[in-house]
Structure 1
Amino acid sequence: MSGGLIDEQPATGDKPPRRPYLRWPFIVIIVGLALPAAIYAKLTSNVRHIEVTREDLGDARPAKAPTAALNILVVGSDQRDDKYAGKRADIIMLVHMSPTRNEAAVISFPRDSLVELPACRSRERRPGQQRRIGMINSSFSSGGIGCTWKTVETLTGIHIDHFVTVDFIGFKGMVDAIGGVNLCIPEPIRDEYVQLDLPTGWQTLLGEQALGYVRTRHSIGDRSDIGRIQRQQDFVAAMAKKTLSSWTLINPVRLFGFLNTATKSITADPGLTLGVMLDLALTTRRLSSDKVHFVITPWRYSTTYPGRVEWLQGPAKKLFRLIAADKPLTGTKIRPSSPEAPPATAPCPPVNSVL
């Protein structure tokens, strides 16, 4: 018999005793295999899932392209739970990934867009949405993510495969977990509404500053939602670059801190599992910058409702048809924004290392 890791002395003529230290390599291997599994289980349990059903989306959905392309709806909200009745989504994006994952397009929908909203059923203590002309981001408060999904599909004719929502409290934690994001600030920003005060030049934005930066619109550029979207796209690109850099990936503590915060901050459909997310993230890491296209839905200022924008139907429909049919945007003449919109950033002095 053996007690713990120490064997009793064998009787005369028995085989020599096994050495305790010979067992340790096997124990280390077992622990090494079990620990990642435990971490994966922990991260998986962090993610909240909401099923968007046929009752939410209706039967007249756009056809899916006959390829392995993926279309993922991304919504940024200021809370995670169901207590955001009356709140509206600040960020609405559609991420299109090509079948071989060697090219991606990110379409931003201005939150101030006046569009024809479809009827959506009430759900999760929300009132539902009547068919009417209204701002695109009101679908989120009216009917939740299912209503936003239906609204974007109806307006664009693009079949959406998955959704993910990110709450802004978690967004701040993700930025802090990677040590902040370096970004060029083209002009001073002093916005009391989002409590942001930044000088020009390269700045390392931590969580609270980062959230203020992606939300500010009152004290920079033309103070429009379009300018804010361009800044959001710049920030997302810079954050993705640092998150997927070796600086983050080769440090287990730093990587776990980021993933733990990120998974606590997101809600997705059941089909968008943690494994799928991680696979897509690592695939994105292999994309060169010229293969990721950030586009704003072609727009113009509304002449009827000051402060609102309307989509340019011809260019917008062309953009949506290309995405729906899984056609590349390379070489197309889709206008990313109105010529009235100023550039999102200005040149900054070079730095030795900008992640």
Structure 2
Amino acid sequence: MPDDRTPGPGIPGAPARTGPRRRARGRRRKPRGRRRTGLIVTAWTAAGIVVLGGSGAGYLYLKLNGNLKSVDIDQVLGTGRPDKAGNGSENILVLGSDTRSGGNGKLGGGTDDGTARSDTAMIVHVHRGHKEASVVSVPRDTLVDRPTCTGTAGRQHPAAHEVMFNSAYSTGGAACAVKTVETLTGLRMDHYLEIDFAGFEKLVDELGGVRVTTTEDIEDPGSHLDLTAGTHRLDGEQALGLVRTRHGVGDGSDLGRIQLQQAFVKALVDQVKDIGVLTSPKKLYGLADTATEAVTTDSGLGSVNSLTAFANGLKGIGASGLHMVTLPVCYDPADGNRVLVREAEARQVWDALKRDEPIPQTATEGTATGEAGDVVSAP
């Protein structure tokens, strides 16, 4: 089993919850240069370009359907889960991974097959009416209590106290990640969507790049990123470097990287809606082929028809309808490479989503941010 407490960047001494903690172990470690980072593309972005499935394009449809991989989360987790919302809203757990597993028993990787890792997660809450969505990023370095879970390959994994959030995925794959999120939030995850690095990079290239504006220079040799302040059209490799850089901006922590990812997702959503990618059948097929190769879904989205229907229900959500926050956390005073959930503020977030209401501003006031600020935006 991987070490759940592998160091990652953070800032010691920042505001934190009170109470006894472990003895501090010194200064924050220098951020790693080439640590791979989970890439999050929201559900409607990855799914929204596979509408060719509804065109009845014969063998092309079968090809796309064969690209998709899925895991039966409901069967693995069984009973004892939070109730479905029943108010017209939906919750989707969106993960990024650094490889694509090849089979139902291998989906999610980690200890079950030793092939994949997820470093970042987004909980996407689609509000009733499907015109707006609230997105909560969960830092990989957050210390959580991981519940007992059954991995995708059927192996039982014991509960663990105060381990990194992303250890759920590396330990038991998609099913364990979903159970950990449901335990953390009290919310039922209606769907699961995962996208791999290689697929994302190719997807950005298929789109012809994505335009972003940087307000300051960003240089990170470890991520092969060298951008001057200004507007750029990023190709797939540059986009991947942007969303995985840890110390190109801000305090060098995972929290700063999350801010970059959120800004890039908004730029990507705008681009998909604006460039008219659905007007060219050839371009549409290329995008659909890339997207379906790149994603892993829950079994409820495991066909092109179901994924298309799901995407059509989200097409009314644009960048202006995305409300993106980071899970309220503080740096662990005992280990600046870890963050702790600010329980009272986090409860405001989960209660609001359970009621299908906007996340209150008070939930994120005074929490750790990573100090990346408004470095990247859509032009």
User: 1:67 pairs with 81, 87, 90, which one?
Assistant: 87
Instruction: Name 2:201's counterpart in structure 1.
Output: 172
Task: Say yes or no: does 1:335 pair with 2:364.
Answer: yes
Amino acid in structure 2 at the alignment position of 1:148: A
One-letter identity of the residue aligned with 1:77: S
Structure 1, unaligned runs of 5 or more: 1-32
What is the TM-score normalised by the length of structure 2? 0.76
C-alpha distance in 2, partners of 1:207/1:221? 23
Kept after mapping to 1: 8 A contact 2:270/2:319: no
- Counterpart of 2:62 in structure 1 is 41
Matching residue within 300, 303, 323 for 1:293 = 323
Q: 2-side partners of 1:35 and 1:59: how far apart?
A: 37
* Offset of residue 37 of structure 1: 3.9
Q: Per the alignment, in what secondary structure is the counterpart of residue 76 of structure 1?
A: strand
Residues 185/129 of structure 1: CA separation in 2 closer, same or farther (3 Å cut): farther
Q: Distance in 2 between matches of 1:262 and 1:310?
A: 34
Superposed counterparts of 1:274-353, under 5 Å:
274-325=304-355, 327-329=356-358, 333-335=362-364, 338=367, 341-346=370-375
Letter of the 2:177 partner, please give it: T
SS of the residue 1:171 aligns to: helix
CA distance in 1, matches of 2:165, 2:376: 33
Closer, same or farther: CA 98–37 of 1 in aligned 2, 3 Å: farther
Q: 1:128 to 1:331 in 2, by over 3 A?
A: closer
Distance in 2 between residues matched to 1:308 and 1:184, nearest whole Å:
30
Unpaired runs of 5+ residues, structure 2, are: 1-53
Report the alpha carbon displacement of residue 105 of structure 1 after superposing the two structures with TM.
1.1
Which amino acid in the other structure matches residue 128 of structure 2? P
DSSP 3-state at the match of 1:214: helix
Q: Cα deviation per residue 1:172-209 (whole Å; 9 max; x = unaligned)?
A: 01000000111112322222222222222111111111
| Bigger mean CA deviation after superposition, 311-320 or 34-43 | 34-43
Instruction: Name whichever of 169-178 and 301-310 sits farther off.
Output: 301-310
Instruction: Note the C-alpha offset of 1:92.
Output: 0.7
How many residue pairs were aligned?
316
2:139 to 82, 107, 110: 110
Give the letter aligned to residue 63 of structure 1. Answer: D
Equivalent in the alignment of 2:298: 269
Which moves more between the two structures, 95-104 or 277-286? 277-286
User: Letter of the aligned partner of 1:213 in structure 2?
Assistant: L
Runs of 4+ in 1 over 4 A off after TM superposition: none
Quick one: percent identity of the two aligned structures? 35
1:275 offset after TM fit, Å?
Answer: 2.9
Change (3 A) 1:136 1:338: same
**C-alpha deviations, 1:156-181, integer Å up to 9, x for none?**
00011110111111010100000011
Aligned 8 A contact 1:249 1:255 in 2? yes
Alignment RMSD (CA, Å): 2.5
CA deviation profile, 1:238-297 (whole Å, cap 9, x unmatched): 112212334312122222211110100111111114334334434434235443211111
Deviates more, 1:158-167 or 1:44-53: 44-53
- With over 3 angstroms needed to count, the CA separation of the structure-2 counterparts of 1:286 and 1:128, relative to structure 1, is same
- The one-letter code matched in structure 1 to 2:342 is L
Structure with greater Cα Rg: 1
Change (3 A) 1:34 1:65: closer
Q: Which has the larger displacement, 278-287 or 306-315?
A: 278-287
Distance in 1 between residues matched to 2:123 and 2:234, nearest whole Å: 25
**Who is 2:182 aligned against?**
153
- C-alpha distance in structure 1 between counterparts of 2:80 and 2:186, whole Å: 10
For the structure 1 residues 212 and 268, does the alpha-carbon distance in structure 2 shift closer, same or farther, using more than 3 Å as the test? same
Partner deviation per Cα, 1:139-158 (whole Å, 9 max, x = no partner) = 11100000000000001000
Amino acid at match of 1:88: R
In the alignment, which residue of structure 1 is the partner of 2:100? Answer: 80
- In structure 1, how many angstroms separate the alpha carbons of the residues matched to 2:333 and 2:55? 62
Q: TM-score, normalised by structure 1?
A: 0.81
2:11 corresponding residue in structure 1 = none
Q: CA deviation at 1:130?
A: 3.0
Q: 2-side partners of 1:274 and 1:69: how far apart?
A: 22
Superposed CA deviations along residues 29-65 of structure 1, whole A, max 9, x for unmatched, are xxxx9862433332122111111244x4253211221
3-state SS of paired residue (2:362): coil
Tell me, yes or no, if the aligned pair for 1:180 and 1:207 is still in contact at 8 Å. Answer: yes
Distance 1:305 1:285, change over 3 A: same
What secondary structure sits across from 2:134 in the alignment? strand
Q: What residue is the counterpart of 1:138 in the other structure? A: 167
Show the counterpart of 1:23.
Answer: none
| Contact 1:110–1:225 (8 Å) recurs in 2 | yes
| Contact 1:244 1:282 (C-alpha < 8 Å) held by counterparts | no
SS where residue 333 of structure 1 aligns? helix
